[in-house]
Structure 1
Amino acid sequence: MSPRRSVAEALGTRASILDRSVAIASMEGLEGLTIGRLAIELSMSKSGVLGHFGTKEALQLAVLDRAGEIFRAEVWEPALPAAPGLARLRVLCEAWISYLERRVFPGGCFFVAAAHEFDGRPGAVRDAVESRFGVWRARLAKEARRAVDAGELPAGTDPGRLVFELMGMAMALNHTIQLHGDPHAATYAREAVNARLTPPSA
């Protein structure tokens, strides 16, 4: 076996472990991940699974990274072609709603679930979850600030408050879909976002 093939196979195995881990953690939380369960489901030895990460915490952090890649592909990247400011903010919100509506992760928003699981537990995993939320909030605030500067939103709009409201709408949508299965939830969310992002004079 050539070294190149060996590396490719190792990367493929690691990717398979992460994809299965994301699916499990989405439904049962990051603490629901166990090396033994992954080994059984992937027909691997425990040492074979552990060898790719070293510790359970390292596995959890790698799973967060993989979930972050999926979120970026689903929500951030579709908005990049849009003009900075209000147009991009609208595309971001629509992609965000669609991501939740289509249940890209079977357990709903991966990061909302992770935040609920770790927000009161200090450590590297909590810090990683908080950091990802910080990056997302900063991206939304940047586009909101651009929209205000361009006159696309009222001059008195506080980007931080707007982001707070948009985050609340998304979390309400996630909750209403996952817990209540309300078929109207995405429609309500779109209407709420549209109302918030439409200037009074429009």
Structure 2
Amino acid sequence: MGDAAHVDGRVERGNATRRLVLRRTMDVASVEGLGGLSIGRIAGELGLSKSGVFALFGSKEELQLATVRAARSVFVRRIVQPALEVPEGLGRVLLLCDGYLEYSRGRVFPGGCFFIAVATEFAAREGAVRDAVALAREEWDRLVLDTLAGARAVGDLREDADVTQLAFELVALMDMANTTSALFGDESGYGRAARAVRERLRSAAAPGTGAPEPR
């Protein structure tokens, strides 16, 4: 019994350290990119032993991959899950878009959207980290498209609405709001993006649908 408690305590301490490290690496990567991460640096900044951090991750690449996975979990929890809790339709589309804008505006990560920051860094590279970043971005683009397709299926969007084009435009608007804020410190892009999202959805809404109004 004592041995089991000792093992459980050691595992929990390891998990707590892992969470602490990943919280720091996500923040650093959102500002400096994943290339700015190293086991020695993070251990020093957090007052941990380098050998202890190495035992948790094993290599810089695994630290980067774990950081991408952790950031994806935050993204899903903050943006995706709340949207999926409401019925399909324009309400879900709006909640998804507004959730993204608030995630960026509220600086869940200090550099704005984690995935925009690291996607630029790894766009022309090859390897496991690039693949993980690309997959996360592909999942987000697909979710926006599928959510719009769901809104069309339930009759909130016109049957002839081009949801592929609409998804591209909505994602571009959200990306631009994040970039304008992160690069120039200009917060006005969030309001502009929210209005533009609503205008695009109104233009594609089915007749008689309670189309969203600009805020």
Q: What TM-score, normalized to structure 2?
A: 0.89
Aligned to 2:160: 156
The Cα of 1:129 is off from its aligned counterpart by: 0.8
Partner deviation per Cα, 1:153-185 (whole Å, 9 max, x = no partner): 122222221111111001100111111222321
| Residue correspondence of structure 1 range 96-175 to structure 2 within 5 A | 96-175=100-179
Q: Check if 1:62 corresponds to 2:66.
A: yes
Runs of 4+ in 1 over 3 A off after TM superposition: none
Q: Deviations over 1:50-104 (max 9, x none)?
A: 1101111111000001111111111112212211122211111111111111111
Alpha-carbon separation, structure 1, partners of 2:63 and 2:40: 13
Out of 39, 46, 59, the position equivalent to 2:43 is: 39
Contact 2:25 2:67 in 1 (8 A): yes
- The count of corresponding residues between Structure 1 and Structure 2 is 202
Would the aligned equivalents of 2:105 and 2:187 in 1 still touch at CA under 8 Å? Answer: no
What's the % identity of the aligned pairs?
Answer: 41
Which is worse superposed, 191-200 or 101-110? 191-200
1:124 & 1:65 partners in 2: Cα distance? 12
2:91 aligns with one of 87, 100, 103: 87
C-alpha separation in 1, matches of 2:17 and 2:105: 30
Partner Cα separation in structure 2 for residue 162 and residue 120 of structure 1? 26
- Which is further off, 134-143 or 124-133? 134-143
Give the structure-1-normalised TM-score. 0.95
> Among residues 4, 28, 32, which one is paired with 2:8 in the alignment?
4
Distance 2:159 2:84 in 1: 24
CA distance in 2, matches of 1:54, 1:72: 26
Which of 147-156 and 99-108 deviates more?
147-156
User: What displacement does 1:200 show?
Assistant: 7.1
Secondary structure at the residue paired with 1:52? helix
Which amino acid letter does the alignment assign opposite residue 35 of structure 2?
E
Query: What residue identity is the alignment partner of 1:62?
Result: A
Q: Which amino acid aligns with 1:127?
A: D
Consecutive unaligned residues of structure 2, counting only runs of 5 or more, are none
Q: Secondary structure at the match of 2:133?
A: helix
Please list every run of 5 or more consecutive structure 1 residues that lacks an aligned counterpart in the other structure. none
Give SS of 1:66's match: helix
Q: After superposition, give the CA deviation of every residue in 1:32-63 in whole Å (9 maximum; x if it has no partner).
A: 00112111111122221111011111110000
Distance 2:187 2:175 in 1: 16
Q: Which moved more, 1:22-31 or 1:149-158?
A: 149-158
| Equivalent residue letter for 1:55 | S
Structural RMSD (CA): 1.4
**2:45 is the counterpart of 1:23:** no
